[in-house]
């Protein structure tokens, strides 16, 4: 028996001990971006901003590259580094939306994806923009 509350949460009783399990789904209106911008440069700049905020992902080596199919985040323990060192690889496809990139990176860094954070990062439209004359990407503001 599944019941749905307002807000899209699915409530399901646990048969063993009577507790309720709450499933929450996050959805974004657009799954594919039609906007033209350098998504890898945008992801790098968002990582810079999130790193400055509360020292997020300190001790983590991060590689961002252009993927082909879907936004993927892989992470693991860096056994060759100091204690607690980790690594992450982020594949950013050519059709990823700004929203998906920001949400994935905020989750990776352990920063809560608050409306303020999303609005701030999404309002920086010149992140990842290409210079018209040179064609070079601007990763920093």
The verdict on residue 132 lying in a domain is no
What is the 3-state composition of the chain as percent helix, strand, coil, each rounded to the nearest 5? 25, 25, 55
User: What is the pTM (predicted TM-score) of this model?
Assistant: 0.63
Cβ atoms of residues 5 and 96 within 8 Å:
no
Q: For residue 128, how many other CB atoms are within 10 A of its CB?
A: 23
Question: What tens digit of pLDDT does each residue of 60-92 get?
Answer: 888 899 988 888 898 888 888 888 888 999 999
Instruction: Quote the number of domains for the chain.
Output: 1
Q: Whole domain around residue 107: which residue ranges?
A: 39-122
Mean pLDDT throughout 12-41?
Answer: 68
* Two structure tokens written together for 13: 């009783």
Pairwise CA distance, residues 21 & 78, whole Å: 34
């Amino acid at each position: 028996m599944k019941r749905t509350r307002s807000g899209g949460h699915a409530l399901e009783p646990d048969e063993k001990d009577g507790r309720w399990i709450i499933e929450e789904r996050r959805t974004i209106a657009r799954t594919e971006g039609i906007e033209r911008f350098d998504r890898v440069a945008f992801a790098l700049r968002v990582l810079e901003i999130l790193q400055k905020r509360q020292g997020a992902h300190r001790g983590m080596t991060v590689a961002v590259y252009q993927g082909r199919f879907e936004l993927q985040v892989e992470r693991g323990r860096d056994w060759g580094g100091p204690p607690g060192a980790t690594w992450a690889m982020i594949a950013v496809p050519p059709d990823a939306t700004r929203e998906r990139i920001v949400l994935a990176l905020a989750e990776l860094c352990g920063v809560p994806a608050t409306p303020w954070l999303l609005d701030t990062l999404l309002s920086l439209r010149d992140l990842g923009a290409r210079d018209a004359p040179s064609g070079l990407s601007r990763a920093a503001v």
